[in-house]
Amino acid sequence: MHNTVKNLIYIEELIKSKANHDKLAQIIAVSKTFPIENILPLIEHGHIHYGENRVQEALDKWSDIKLKVGSIKLHLIGKLQTNKVKFALKIFDYIHSLDSEKLATKISEEQIKQEKKPKIFIQVKIGNEDQKSGIIKERLGDFYNFCKNLNLDIIGTMCIPPNDGNTEQHFSEMNKINKQLNFKDLSMGMSGDYLEAIRYNATYVRVGSKIFGSRS
């Protein structure tokens, strides 16, 4: 058995042992920068969810594979620029980084043209880091209504908490925000904190180095 598959199975078992609700968190194997050869053992094992942060890299890497393996779900976990939306919708099934009305409008226009409707998470700006993108929590309700009027398939919220030593506090706050908006899905947690995230009802966690090893 390939090491990446062993790592994935170990993480799956950890999540099962820590889960506090019936719906187990889906593991997004963050495959960005890794060649497809490193990912094939997971695909052959039957893993479905993969994460990329660059649109062009995803198109180059995944277009042929997705034609052959129709069950694969590809997640855009990086920032999406409006001029990349038409290309993103060609390859991605999930977008985790909706962070503006301008981007929402562009996705709405493009999904009509392509007759595709990706599942979307609203990125929430949690904490006070100026460089982080996202919708502040005070605007979330209005922004969600704006997105619904555009016929976007908003399934939940996403956050990348600041590195301020208060990760659990931020996860707890996100859990409350998600429940207030009646979302069933919550995207948060990475290799270093995914177990904490699932304690606060994360349904999608992004795990890269714990599966694939360090990036060179």
The token pair that represents 6 in the structure block: 């062993």
What whole-number distance in Å separates Cα of residue 170 and Cα of residue 127? 7
117: CB partners within 8 A, 6+ apart: 111, 153
The token pair that represents 165 in the structure block: 């030593």
Average pLDDT, 10 consecutive residues per value, the chain (216 residues): 94 86 87 92 97 96 96 97 97 97 98 97 84 87 97 97 87 95 96 94 95 81
Task: With H, G, I as helix, E, B as strand and everything else as coil, classify residue 26.
Answer: strand
- Please give the CATH topology (third level) of the domain spanning 3-212: TIM Barrel (3.20.20)
pLDDT at 145: 97
β-strands 185-187, 153-158 pairing: parallel
166: CB partners within 8 A, 6+ apart: 127
pLDDT at 22: 67
